[in-house]
Amino acid sequence: MSENKLARQEKSDDRFQALLSNANASRAISQAVEGTIGPKGLDIMMVDRFGDVVISNDGVTILKLIEVNHPAARMIINTARAQQSEVGDGTTTATIIAAALVSEGMEQVLKGVPVTRVIEGIEQGIAAALNLVKKQSRAVESLDDKVLFNIAEVAGRGKRDLARLVIKGAQLVGKKKLLDRDYKFADAVVARELAPSQVFRGVLLNKEPVNKDMPAVLENPLILVIDDALGPEEIEREAMKSESGFQYYLQARANYEENLRKIPELGVKMIVADRGIDDMAEEFLTDAGIMAVQRVSSREIEKLCQHTAARKIKRNGLNRDLDSLKGYLGKARMVKVDEKLQHIYVYDGGGESWTTVLIGAATEEVVEERERMAKDAAAAVQAAVQGGVVPGGGATEVWLAAHMEEVSRELEGMASFGVNCVKEALLKPFSCLISNAGFNPLEKLGDVVVAQRKNGSDSIGIDCEKGKLMDMMRQGIVDPTPVKIHAIKAAGEVAVAILRINTIIKMKNDPEQPESTENWD
């Protein structure tokens, strides 16, 4: 063999090796979550090096905790995280479709189809699928629609109590606010150990007052939010050794004491600080009958400010006159301390309406899990209100796959092989779901394809309990359209990005870092 032919052969082998490596890594990630999809999906146990165990069937939770070295696998995991961040659900579906696209694309390339033609076909197939989903979407007209409860229940892993709370919260929030793209309903969900599950207008602060001598209940209080520590200006020890420095310290101290006296003059009954409150302020505020709360998280402070119309102020801002300071105050109908659960309720603020969905948990170990499930349910409900719904249970994917044949026939050249990759990838979630339910995927797929074609319907699927054909829309088994759209779009984008990789080259390590021992083959 000539040197030129040998070089071309080695280059081709490198390209195929990269493709095989990426496909195998993608398949491994998909296999980690395939067994969790659907109503009959099982849990995954993850164990760290210390023996700590996490059991979950939530796709993004599993992908966040799984140990991964391969770059292509990380790309798919990052896609799942983006899916969770954007629409709060559909991570497992996006992962399975993405991995299947890479695997099917690899098969076509190994058969001799140029990778550029495969990519072209995948992009056109994904675009066609997205258009079809949008056309088939059904709008949710009312928050009383029973389909929303079903969506919340499915996204909440079958927890009906969580679904009821989420729907009650959605109804309290109102459709107008749920349609606001800047509002995230999932942010309204919080979980606390031993707390009574409830929905109320207001916000929850996961803190107690600085001491128990402060009032536990406030009616119609004015609220001051300090985005700082409440204490005198800090002066370095070296500066205080000089006469001028010591005089500056005394003046700063006097200014601070004067600013403290302004607080009761303003009529303030509650102070919330994101940092500490010093002893002088604590004693003064206690004597004045003012509730003070320190080291509140920035996230909770943002909610509090929105709900009460309070404006954050730095401690030096207290140097302003009383009339100026009044513009920074917020208000609420009531503030109540729960000493047993160590948190504070702020009800009916004077600013933006805010609803809190409080999820109770029996033990500390399940708090995070219940909060995650409720947040998923809230995100799915909001997505359905904003973008409508499509049939669930894999029925939509089967229907889309059937239409990929029409798209393929309209294309010229070898790009049609890429469209076929989309067709096979779309069928993968349905096959996993049916397999997890204990039925033969090929048999049930054939039944669904025939029934959908015969009835001209995209909503016919399989009852995972009985294995019989079932109309998903009539049974209320649906998926939010934005979740489906984002999953298919994200899967297509990451699959194309992976298929474009021609060679994997390890970058030179930082001289200060030890050489990596990862093996990506």
The contacts of residue 370 (CB under 8 Å, 6+ apart) are: 159, 162, 191, 359, 361
* Better pLDDT: 496 or 18: 496
* CA pseudo-torsion sign 386, 482, 76, 65: positive
Confidence of residue 504 (pLDDT cuts 50, 70, 90): low
The contacts of residue 224 (CB under 8 Å, 6+ apart) are: 263, 266, 268, 270, 271, 272, 310, 313, 328, 329, 330
Determine the Cα–Cα distance for residues 463 and 191; give it in Å rounded to an integer.
Answer: 33
Please give the backbone phi and psi of residue 96, each rounded to the nearest 5 degrees, phi first: -65, -45
Query: Do residues 410 and 426 lie in contact, with contact meaning Cβ atoms separated by under 8 Å?
Result: no
Q: How far apart are the first and last CA of the chain?
A: 27
Determine the Cα–Cα distance for residues 290 and 513; give it in Å rounded to an integer.
Answer: 53
What is the SS3 assignment for 148?
Answer: helix
Residue whose C-alpha is closest to residue 458's, from 472, 468, 445? 472
Residue span(s) of the chain under CATH 3.50.7.10 come to 202-361
Query: Do residues 180 and 354 lie in contact, with contact meaning Cβ atoms separated by under 8 Å?
Result: no
> Could you give the percent of the chain with pLDDT greater than 90?
59
Q: What is the CA radius of gyration of the chain?
A: 29
pLDDT value at position 8?
Answer: 45
Tokens, residue 216: 């536990």
Determine the Cα–Cα distance for residues 511 and 15; give it in Å rounded to an integer.
Answer: 29
Placement of tokens 């093996």 in the chain: 519
Task: Name the CA dihedral angle for 255, 258, 259, 260, rounded to a multiple of 10 degrees.
Answer: 130
Tokens, residue 192: 């606390």
**Domain 15-138+390-499 is in which class?**
mainly alpha
Three-class DSSP labels, 280-302: HHHHHHHHCCCEEECCCCHHHHH
Looking at residue 367, its amino acid is V
DSSP 196: P
* CA pseudo-torsion sign 198, 204, 206, 208: negative
Beta strand ranges found along 40-151 (DSSP E): 44-47, 53-56
Residue whose C-alpha is closest to residue 479's, from 150, 106, 25, 255? 150
Confidence of residue 350 (pLDDT cuts 50, 70, 90): very high
Beta bridge partners of 217: 336
Determine the Cα–Cα distance for residues 93 and 60; give it in Å rounded to an integer.
Answer: 11
The contacts of residue 345 (CB under 8 Å, 6+ apart) are: 200, 202, 204, 334, 335, 336, 337, 338
pLDDT value at position 119?
Answer: 93
Residues in the chain: 521
Tokens, residue 69: 């070295």
Question: Average pLDDT in the 306-317 region?
Answer: 93
Confidence of residue 316 (pLDDT cuts 50, 70, 90): confident
Of the options 3.40.50.300, 3.50.7.10, 3.40.640.10, 3.30.365.10, the CATH number for the domain spanning 202-361: 3.50.7.10
**pLDDT tens digits for 141-182?**
899 999 999 999 988 888 899 999 999 999 999 999 999 988
DSSP 200: E
- Record the pTM: 0.80
pLDDT value at position 490?
Answer: 92
Taking all residues of the chain, what is their mean pLDDT, rounded to a whole number?
87
Please give the backbone phi and psi of residue 280, each rounded to the nearest 5 degrees, phi first: -60, -45
DSSP 351: S
Determine the Cα–Cα distance for residues 479 and 380; give it in Å rounded to an integer.
Answer: 8
Tokens, residue 96: 């399975």
Tokens, residue 306: 């929105």
Question: Average pLDDT in the 42-48 region?
Answer: 79
Residue span(s) of the chain under CATH 1.10.560.10 come to 15-138+390-499
Residue whose C-alpha is closest to residue 448's, from 432, 467, 466? 467
- In this predicted structure, the answer to whether residue 87 has a pLDDT above a threshold of 50 is yes
pLDDT value at position 7?
Answer: 42
pLDDT value at position 38?
Answer: 79
Determine the Cα–Cα distance for residues 423 and 414; give it in Å rounded to an integer.
Answer: 15
Placement of tokens 């995070």 in the chain: 368
Determine the Cα–Cα distance for residues 216 and 218; give it in Å rounded to an integer.
Answer: 7
pLDDT value at position 69?
Answer: 79
- Residue 181: how many CA atoms within 13 Å on its side-chain side? 3
The contacts of residue 300 (CB under 8 Å, 6+ apart) are: 203, 204, 205, 206, 207
